[in-house]
Chain A
Amino acid sequence: MSSKTDNKKDKDLMEREDKLKAKELTGDDAVVKNYQSQTEIHAHPGEVQPKDIDVKAIEPPKRKSQWAEVWKRLIKNKAAIVGMIVILILLLTAIFADFIAPYHYSTQDLQNVRMAPNADNWFGTDNFGRDIFSRVVYGSRISIQVGFIAVFVAMIVGGALGSISGYYSGRIDNVIMRLMDILLAIPGILLAIAIAAALGPGLVNVMIAVGIASIPRYARIVRASVLSLRDQEFVEAARAVGANDFRIITKYILPNCMAPIIVQGTLGVAEAILAAAGLSFIGLGIQPPIPEWGAMLSTARTYIRDAWWMSIFPGLAIMITIFGLNLLGDGLRDALDPRLKG
């Protein structure tokens, strides 16, 4: 008998004792009887347990929900906490921009243009004498909206297309993936420019443009994961018990390819923010005077020699946001994989 089996026996024995305690069957007799039944069970593992134990009455130890477990693992990861704090600060800034910003984002003070950082204007002022700190604070609203909404839309549409494509394969797969190839053949930013140019400038159109441009990426990632999972035995097992395609995709396949999607998603938010900045730069994105980090950056480019603060602070805002999203993305990937559970 291997030691493994012995260990198992001990463990089972302990469990059984617990059950007995639950039933208030204590005393030597009970233990002896319990031991005998235990050995018997081991000789024939299929043996039904003795009738004096009602299995239905046994309550398994309470477990937290799966999301609570993910949360627990996530907060063990220091880098992820830093990322979360950054994102949280960003969200709070966006929500409470009206209270945080000392000035309105469009208030001009033409006597104090391009002022270096000082007590009144912490980040200095721009070429119209507008307070850069206030503009960076308000700018967080735009960036968060564009980043998250564009990625969310792209993820849903791309995810749906990718899973249909990977699961059904054949002609449907071919049609969808060739369409995605067409989208991929055009560089993302160029595609976004084309869409934004067609739809006209504005916040919503920027989100649509950036969203559509990143659909093929999610479609590809999801399709690849689905392909690798589709022929797994647990999917076949689900089919054998009568699960339909929708249930198989939503309960068996997609939960198992969450990790790459989430990682791609957090990186995607960062890229969407950059793409929106690019669009604003060429005049197809957010229109002035609405503050947008990318637009601020491109205006500041002209003055970078004598007014470094104009480009440094929006640039830092973008950098820190993206850094935080990446840290959080990495942490989520580890936390979402139960096999890494300690």
Chain B
Amino acid sequence: MSKNILEVKNLKKYFKTPKGMLHAVDDVNFFIKEGETLGLVGESGCGKSTTGRAILRLVEPTSGEVNFEGKNIVDFNGAQMREARKNMQIIFQDPYASLNPRMNLGQIIAEPLLINKVFKERKQVTDRVKELMDTVGLTPRLLNAFPHELDGGRRQRVGVARALALNPKFIVQDEPVSALDVSIQAQILNLMQDIQEELGLTYLFISHDLSVVKHVSDRIAVMYLGKIVELSDYNAIFKNPLHPYTQALLSAIPVPRVDAPDNMIILEGDVPSPVNPPEGCRFYGRCRYRQDICKAKTPELREYEPERFVACHLVEELQK
């Protein structure tokens, strides 16, 4: 298969809080192959967004490596990072907050071009902006409109156009559709997929919406409390989830049938605090299968089957 465009190794992001260190992202490892979409799912507060931002160094990682096309961007200085960001972009969750209300669409989409001095002449910039607007399905007539004049879907298209302006190879999509209503969600998702095919982009798709992730992802990583608990092919994960948390998560997808058997796994308790988490499996307190080893030792993400990674001591036992 194609090579890995992005490799994340032992990525950690801790935040200092008055109570202690908050382990938002704790020792995360994964890779993304060129041209694929990796879905990153998990409940709120599990560190998905922080992971996406740490990859772009929008938040500075505490430690670890982010290798983009073989180079560790965590070591990059300002100028190198600016160069690297031409290839790595992000689309944000809230299309209402991610556009500067004082700029019109033309200015917003032109910003990446102007900052990086891509073109010499004003006319070229405007042409490129119109081209981008066309790519994302916005009529160039809206060039002088302000963000507050548009609906959520169109705003998100502006966000997409801005991310595409510098011809990136890799885009982090941080819950790009969770603020939109369902009919618009489909439009944006299809738009993103069409653009991906056309331009050969690689996506990291962050979402808490399983049906959306299922729709767009080639592979899926499941995150729980700062750690990846399972990572594998999208078919495999939906057919046979290995990790107890993934099993519970997937069982929560509603089935649109009245007579469907109720197989939902109800987890006990709450998500523990990510501040100073204890040694051992993060899921220990809520796991149905917990054993002593789970409390004593933190399970590493390991390859259970080819291309299937799981972080659970008991997976062999459970699969029998």
Distance, CA A117 to CA B165, complexed state (A): 71
Q: Which single member of B111, B135, B148 contacts A241 (CB below 8 Å)?
A: B111
Distance, CA A41 to CA B312, complexed state (A): 46
Separation in Å of the B146 CB from the closest CB of chain A? 6
Separation in Å of the B132 CB from the closest CB of chain A? 10
Give the chain A neighbours of B166 by CB distance below 8 A: 241
B271 contacts A by Cβ under 8 Å: no
* Interfacial residues of chain B within 138-168, with CB under 8 A of chain A in the complex: 139-144, 146, 148, 151, 157, 159, 162, 165-166
B93 contacts A by Cβ under 8 Å: yes
Q: How large is the interface on B (under 10, 10 to 19, 20 to 34, 35 or more residues)?
A: 35 or more
Give the chain A neighbours of B183 by CB distance below 8 A: 1-2, 5
Give the chain B neighbours of A48 by CB distance below 8 A: 134-135, 198
* Interfacial residues of chain A within 51-95, with CB under 8 A of chain B in the complex: 55-56, 58, 60-63, 66
Give the chain A neighbours of B90 by CB distance below 8 A: 236-237, 240
Of the listed residues B93, B111, B136, the one surrounded by the most CB atoms of chain A closer than 10 A to its CB is B111
Separation in Å of the B36 CB from the closest CB of chain A? 18
Q: Is the CB of B162 within 8 A of A241?
A: yes
Q: Is the CB of B58 within 8 A of A234?
A: no
Give the chain A neighbours of B162 by CB distance below 8 A: 237, 241
Give the chain A neighbours of B191 by CB distance below 8 A: 44-46
Q: Is the CB of B89 within 8 A of A234?
A: no
Q: Is the CB of A242 within 8 A of B92?
A: no
* Interfacial residues of chain B within 280-303, with CB under 8 A of chain A in the complex: none
Q: Could you mark each residue 231-260 of chain A with 1 if its beta carbon is under 8 Å from any beta carbon of chain B, else 0?
A: 011101111111100010001100110000
Q: Is the CB of A44 within 8 A of B190?
A: yes
Give the chain A neighbours of B53 by CB distance below 8 A: 236
A47 contacts B by Cβ under 8 Å: yes
Distance, CA A293 to CA B88, complexed state (A): 62
Q: Is the CB of A338 within 8 A of B101?
A: yes
Q: Which single member of A1, A60, A241, A341 contacts B142 (CB below 8 Å)?
A: A60
Give the chain A neighbours of B134 by CB distance below 8 A: 48-49, 55
Q: Is the CB of A242 within 8 A of B116?
A: yes
Give the chain A neighbours of B58 by CB distance below 8 A: 236, 239-240
A181 contacts B by Cβ under 8 Å: no
Distance, CA A339 to CA B193, complexed state (A): 33
Give the chain B neighbours of A56 by CB distance below 8 A: 127, 130-131
* Interfacial residues of chain B within 101-127, with CB under 8 A of chain A in the complex: 101-104, 106, 111-112, 115-116, 127
Closest residue to A337 on the B side, CB-wise? B101
Distance, CA A341 to CA B104, complexed state (A): 14
Q: Is the CB of B194 within 8 A of A55?
A: no
Q: Is the CB of A58 within 8 A of B194?
A: no
With A15-B141, A338-B101 known to touch, is A242 a contact of B112 (CB < 8 Å)? Answer: yes
Q: Could you mark each residue 101-129 of chain A with 1 if its beta carbon is under 8 Å from any beta carbon of chain B, else 0?
A: 00000000000000000000000000000
With A58-B141, A61-B141 known to touch, is A242 a contact of B85 (CB < 8 Å)? Answer: yes
B228 contacts A by Cβ under 8 Å: no
Separation in Å of the A234 CB from the closest CB of chain B? 5
A12 contacts B by Cβ under 8 Å: yes
B192 contacts A by Cβ under 8 Å: yes
Q: Which single member of A1, A61, A242, A341 contacts B115 (CB below 8 Å)?
A: A242
Distance, CA A237 to CA B159, complexed state (A): 9
Distance, CA A16 to CA B161, complexed state (A): 20
Interface size on A, residues (CB 8 A): 46
Separation in Å of the B183 CB from the closest CB of chain A? 6
Give the chain A neighbours of B194 by CB distance below 8 A: 44-47
Distance, CA A2 to CA B187, complexed state (A): 13
Q: Could you mark each residue 326-342 of chain A with 1 if its beta carbon is under 8 Å from any beta carbon of chain B, else 0?
A: 00000000000011010
B97 contacts A by Cβ under 8 Å: yes
With A241-B166, A256-B100, A338-B101 known to touch, is A46 a contact of B193 (CB < 8 Å)? Answer: yes
With A46-B194, A240-B56, A240-B58 known to touch, is A233 a contact of B116 (CB < 8 Å)? Answer: no
B98 contacts A by Cβ under 8 Å: yes
Give the chain A neighbours of B142 by CB distance below 8 A: 60
Separation in Å of the A137 CB from the closest CB of chain B? 40
Q: Is the CB of B92 within 8 A of A233?
A: yes
Give the chain B neighbours of A233 by CB distance below 8 A: 92-94, 97-98
Closest residue to A1 on the B side, CB-wise? B183
With A61-B141, A338-B148 known to touch, is A46 a contact of B136 (CB < 8 Å)? Answer: yes
Distance, CA A173 to CA B185, complexed state (A): 42
B8 contacts A by Cβ under 8 Å: no
Q: Is the CB of A255 within 8 A of B98?
A: no
Of the listed residues A41, A43, A55, A62, the one surrounded by the most CB atoms of chain B closer than 10 A to its CB is A55
Distance, CA A278 to CA B98, complexed state (A): 47
Q: Which single member of B82, B104, B141, B157 contacts A242 (CB below 8 Å)?
A: B82
Closest residue to B133 on the A side, CB-wise? A55
Closest residue to A58 on the B side, CB-wise? B140
Distance, CA A243 to CA B107, complexed state (A): 14
Give the chain A neighbours of B103 by CB distance below 8 A: 251
Contacts A46-B137, A242-B115, A243-B111 aside, 17 further interface pairs with beta carbons under 8 A come to: A1-B183, A8-B151, A18-B141, A19-B139, A42-B187, A48-B198, A62-B144, A233-B93, A238-B111, A240-B56, A240-B90, A241-B89, A241-B115, A241-B165, A243-B115, A339-B101, A339-B148
Question: 8 nearest interchain CB pairs?
Answer: A46-B194, A241-B112, A60-B143, A63-B144, A233-B98, A46-B191, A45-B137, A255-B102
Using a CB–CB distance below 8 Å, which chain B residues touch chain A? 53, 56, 58, 82, 85-86, 89-90, 92-94, 97-104, 106, 111-112, 115-116, 127, 130-131, 133-137, 139-144, 146, 148, 151, 157, 159, 162, 165-166, 183, 187-188, 190-195, 198
The contact sample of 8 A-B pairs, CB cut-off 8 A, is A1-B183, A45-B137, A46-B135, A47-B194, A63-B144, A240-B89, A241-B112, A242-B115
